[in-house]
């Protein structure tokens, strides 16, 4: 059987292929202990983490930019 970390690494790569970046980060975290000395692993891991952070930031900015429009009816 695949070791837990090996399985997590392969699942991370498959998640990247599907563009499920959040899932990829989760799987990279599981694999990190065993592959921490692997440069390729670190590069993919950190790049994906950065991408997820950028996407989160863009989502936050997008929410701030949304204008909430309210109609207020005054008496009379």
Partner 1 sequence: MSSQNTLKNLEGLLESFLERALAAKEDRLTVLSGMNSLDDISRLGPDDSSVHNRLGDWLSEHSQWLEEGSLRPSDVNRIQNVLGEISNRLDLGSTDTPELTKIRGEVDNWQPPQKKGRRVIFKRPGESKPVIDQNPDSIARFQAELSRISELYQKKAVGCKHLLSVLDDCLKSAKIQLRKEPLLLAAFIIYSLKQDGYKVAPYVKKLKEAERLIEKVPSDA
Interaction site with partner 1 (CB under 8 A): 1-2, 7, 10-11, 13-14, 16-17, 19, 43-44, 47-48, 50-51, 54-55, 57-58, 61, 65
Compute the least distance from the CB of residue 36 to partner 1, in Å: 18
For residue 53, count CB atoms less than 10 angstroms from its CB and return exposed for 0-12, middle for 13-18, buried for 19 or more: exposed
Compute the least distance from the CB of residue 34 to partner 1, in Å: 15
Tokens for 65, please give them: 């930019």
Is 36 or 47 the residue whose CB approaches partner 1 more closely?
A: 47
| H-type alpha helices, the chain | 4-17, 21-35, 39-65
């Amino acid at each position: 059987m695949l070791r837990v970390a090996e399985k997590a690494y392969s699942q991370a790569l498959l998640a990247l292929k599907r563009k499920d970046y959040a899932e990829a980060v989760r799987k990279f975290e599981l694999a990190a202990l065993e592959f921490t000395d692997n440069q390729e692993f670190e590069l993919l891991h950190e790049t994906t983490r950065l991408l997820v952070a950028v996407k989160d930031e863009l989502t936050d900015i997008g929410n701030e930019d949304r204008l909430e429009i309210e109609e207020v009816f005054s008496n009379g």
